[in-house]
Amino acid sequence: MSRRRASAKNLVSKEIKREIKEEEEEEEGEGEMDTIKLGTRATRNMKTKLESFSFGNSPTPSSSKATIVSSTATTTTTTAKSKKRKRSESPPVDLHLLTDADADADADAYEPTPQRKTKATKAAKAKVYKMELDSPQPAPANWLVTYRAIEEMRKGRPAPVDTMGCHAPMKESRIDVQARRFITLVSLMLSSQTKDEVTHAAVQNLRAVFRPPKEHDTDPYKEYLTVPNMVSASIETIESCINKVGFWRRKAQYLKSTAEILQRDYAGEIPKSVEGLCGLPGVGMKMAMLTMQNAWGENVGIGVDVHVHRITNRLGWFGRGRETKTPEETRVRLESWLPREFYGPINPLLVGFGQTVCTPVRPKCEECLLSRKEFEIEWEGEGGEGGKGGERVKKVGNGPLCPSAFKGSTGGPRRKTVVKKEEEVLEALIKVELEE
């Protein structure tokens, strides 16, 4: 049995080496730090899975243990060197000038390591946003039929965004309107790279923690998630409430800094302009547009998040070979042809569609009208392609209208292989243990 046990553990060591080597080759050219972190994570995950099984009283074979330890030690040393070199090459970044675009750059990014403070700190340049195209893009064919078909599919399909989206705080009429606007902004600042359910829970945590004890809470309808209370709260308190959201340490700093700016420069109110909102720490164009729509009721642009970005490209709305690379590019291209009355509703519509049908992984194309050759929908026309206002219009889709139908990603073949190998290794280890 000891020979079989050693063979199974050596198989784990070989898998660890192979995964680290493949990840380093695959990530080559994308930055030394990313490669090192991926290698560290792969090693740590496999080591954890190995240690979770018991192999009796026999000691771990020295060769297998040495492989794991040496891989981790090498990685740690290289990480320290690369950190030192990276700090010497670039000055510390001013946390107040980062935007949500920095957080959205990579959904799988790790928490940033705080950089050492120096006396001479160069200020980062504020991000400049392009507001319109030099030459507007023509509207894609059948876009309105596609839009109405998505509306039809959203009926009877509740999505998290419907009840937990950034519009929810403004519906709580019992709360002071200024507090509602601030909660809307807080919700949006926490939403980057975070599911609606997690964002909603984090906001509720803040509201609960900021509320005083019952013996001191004389008004049950008073809201305590306000600018002054955020300024008074410690970073540790804020972090404890939002530590489930993505980039929570950075966002805690954003919230604290934003509250201080609002109290100092805006008398506790949030800015009523895109420029003012984008000047706040951690607020980018998407958040600014959605804040203007939901908190101030002003329709100044489209809030494009990852769902809107992904789905509009899947629908081929920008043309074959002309897909947009970033949500910000998607916003500018969409605004060049989409009628203004659709600026507000398109975000919750496509976000809910992306949460229920057109999911990032394994989209439900078999349930989607846009993947069928023919379908019939009916809606009230409002002019243009839809007919006269109030007129019931029937459209037959001559499709499929979605060029990406049944082509959705399922996680990638390499990831499937890695997961399958991990499962095979763990099954072998379990089998050896049971037979003993």
Nearest partner of 249 among 371, 144, 127, 115, judged by Cα: 115
Q: Confirm if 305 and 351 have CB atoms less than 8 A apart.
A: yes
Structure tokens at 31: 């930055």
Q: Confirm if 43 and 78 have CB atoms less than 8 A apart.
A: no
CB proximity list for 390: less than 8 A, separation 6 or greater = 380, 381
Torsion region of 319: left, alpha or beta (phi above 0 gives left; psi -120 to 50 gives alpha): left
What's the distance, Cα to Cα, between the start and end of the chain in Å?
7
In 3-state terms, the chain is what percent helix, strand and coil (to 5)?
A: 55, 5, 40
Q: Confirm if 402 and 368 have CB atoms less than 8 A apart.
A: yes
83 noted as active-site residue? no
Secondary structure string (H, E, C) spanning 264-275: HHCCCCCCCCHH
Q: Which of 65, 286, 325, 373 is catalytic?
A: 286
DSSP secondary structure, 48-78, as one string: HHHHTS--TTSPPPHHHHHHHHHHHHHHHHH
Structure tokens at 196: 């609606």
- Residue 339 and residue 336: Cα distance in Å, rounded? 9
Catalytic residues: 286
